[in-house]
Amino acid sequence: MLANLYGPFFDINNWKTVVESSSDWMIILSLAVIECLLSVDNAIVLAAQTQKLPNKKEQEKALFYGLWGAYIFRFIIIGIGTFLIDFWEIKVIGAGYLIYLSGHYFFSKIKTPKPKVEKKGNGRKGPFSLFWSVVISIEMMDIVFSIDSVLASLAISTNPVVVLIGGMFGILAMRGIATLIMKLMKVVPELESMAYMLIALIAVKLFVSIPQIGIEISSILFAGIVFGAVILTTLVHMYNIQNKK
């Protein structure tokens, strides 16, 4: 069973054929672009979650662990990709978790603010440190978002090596998008609240895509919504600065 699922990954001739094929590289490029579009929502969740960490070093370290986790989960999920269509429950759990993240953020905003206490180290959140709770959250989302990406990729190419290489390039690009969003959040603080609004929208997008509902929101449309939201929030930020002046 495992040999049938993962054998192609360890077939040297399969890799050699892909590397030497110009048509396969065109497919890989297409898959990388699709991966970027499908991963915009993942990038938003990553950027919002890593903002909880106290410094840039820990944020980059969390993204690094998340990167390797994404590669490992992608490898596993590509192998069992043909069975994933029945795993709609994972999407429901993922949507519920995202709603929790968004609701928890806004609920904490409307509670009576408490005096800020300077914290040393990573802090604690349940049984894990703040750092590891963020890493675990990132990995959970990697699993959920990998399903859509892998299924979309397998519809274009059935060669798991082609799908894996395309996914690897796409994940790197997606982490780059997450880093860019994190930098923008530092310049435009209002983007953090906008990110959590988008996280709630992502939860709806995930939930309505389950087979029982069957509504697929176009990745291109969603990417347009995200970039439109970023531009609008930036304009609001600039307007607020002008008013203060």
Higher pLDDT, 19 or 233: 233
Structure confidence at residue 84 (pLDDT): 61
Q: What H or E segment, with its residue span, contains residue 37?
A: helix 22-38
Structure confidence at residue 111 (pLDDT): 66
Tokens 């903002």 -> residue: 51
pLDDT-derived band at 2 (thresholds 50, 70, 90) equals low
> Which range, 13-17, 142-146, 232-236, has the best average confidence (pLDDT)?
232-236
What is the domain partition of the chain in residue ranges? Answer: 17-244
Question: Can you give the pTM of this predicted structure?
Answer: 0.68
Q: Using CA atoms, how far apart are residues 235 and 214, in angstroms rounded to an integer?
A: 35
| pLDDT at residue 174 tops 80 | no
| pLDDT at residue 122 tops 50 | no
Sign of CA dihedral 74, 132, 130, 103: positive
Structure confidence at residue 135 (pLDDT): 87
Burial label for 173, CB within 10 Å (0-12, 13-18, 19+), is middle
Higher pLDDT, 84 or 79: 79
Sign of CA dihedral 8, 9, 12, 16: positive
| pLDDT at residue 1 tops 70 | no
Q: For 80-102, what is the mean pLDDT? A: 75
Q: Around Cβ 174, how many Cβ atoms within 10 Å? A: 26
Rounded to whole angstroms, what are the CA distances from 135 to 29, 102, 142, 185?
A: 29, 17, 10, 19
Burial label for 84, CB within 10 Å (0-12, 13-18, 19+), is middle
Mean pLDDT over all residues of the chain?
79
Higher pLDDT, 5 or 61: 61
Q: Around Cβ 18, how many Cβ atoms within 10 Å? A: 19
Q: Using CA atoms, how far apart are residues 172 and 32, in angstroms rounded to an integer?
A: 9
Q: Which of 15-19, 113-117, 179-183, 235-239 has the lowest mean pLDDT?
A: 113-117
Structure confidence at residue 119 (pLDDT): 46
> What's the angle, vertex CA 96, arms to CA 89 and CA 227, rounded to 5?
110
- In this structure, what token pair is assigned to residue 189? 């603080």
What would the pLDDT profile of 7-30 be if each residue is shown by its tens digit? 777 778 878 888 888 888 888 887
Structure confidence at residue 171 (pLDDT): 81
- In this structure, what token pair is assigned to residue 191? 């983007």
First to last CA, the chain: 67
